[in-house]
């Protein structure tokens, strides 16, 4: 599975700390930046292009990092086909995948240590969408909204 990473200055160190872990787990890791720590960079510059790549590759996932996770999720959700959530626990990651078929998680570098983030990522990547009728029905409604209906 391809995993797209993106981070601004606030999430840069956490992204870098987890990149090697993902590679050792056999994922094809694509780092969409930031590629160096630049304190004045802006999260939309990294999150939006990375979210576009996730949307274009239905079998991929995105893991985005910023200080709160909120900005990353907001930007990612501007891309049609992306369902991004802020995940602060393994329970959040499980729910996001099973119920919402989330394809991007946004992680808070202010709230999570690398080990916690690793556990959330592992859960997110290992969990499948349940496919239950009620969840499919809701996803179809979201897709209809995305089409402007």
Per residue in 60-87, pLDDT (tens digit) is 999 999 999 999 999 999 999 999 999 9
* CATH number, domain containing residue 59: 3.40.1400.10
Q: How far apart are CA 106 and CA 146, in angstroms?
A: 20
What is the predicted pLDDT for the residue at 149?
A: 63
Q: How many domains does the chain have?
A: 1
Q: What residue numbers bound the domain in which 88 lies?
A: 2-146
pTM of the model: 0.96
| Nearest to 103, CA basis, from 140, 52, 36, 68 | 52
Per residue in 4-50, pLDDT (tens digit) is 999 999 999 999 999 999 999 999 999 999 999 999 999 999 999 99
Do residues 66 and 45 make contact, with C-beta atoms less than 8 angstroms apart?
Answer: no
How distant, in Å, are the alpha carbons of 114, 127, 130 from that of 66?
A: 13, 23, 28
What is the predicted pLDDT for the residue at 148?
A: 86
Q: Give the pLDDT band of residue 128 (cuts 50, 70, 90).
A: very high
Do residues 72 and 33 make contact, with C-beta atoms less than 8 angstroms apart?
Answer: no
Strand order in the sheet with 104-108: 28-31, 2-7, 61-66, 104-108, 84-86
Catalytic residue annotation: 66, 99
């Amino acid at each position: 599975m391809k995993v797209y990473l993106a981070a601004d200055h606030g999430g840069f160190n956490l992204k870098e700390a987890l990149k090697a872990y993902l590679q050792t787990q056999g994922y094809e890791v694509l780092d969409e930046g930031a590629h160096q720590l630049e304190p004045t960079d802006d999260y939309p510059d990294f999150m939006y292009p990375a979210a576009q790549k996730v949307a274009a590759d239905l079998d991929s996932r995105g893991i985005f990092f910023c200080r709160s996770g909120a900005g990353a999720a907001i930007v990612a959700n501007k891309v049609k086909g992306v369902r991004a959530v802020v995940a602060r626990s393994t329970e959040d990651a499980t729910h996001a995948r099973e119920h919402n078929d989330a394809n991007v998680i946004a992680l808070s570098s202010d709230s999570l240590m690398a080990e916690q983030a690793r556990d959330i990522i592992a859960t997110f990547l290992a969990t499948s969408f349940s496919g239950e009728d009620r969840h499919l029905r809701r996803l179809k409604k979201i897709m209809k909204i995305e089409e402007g209906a």
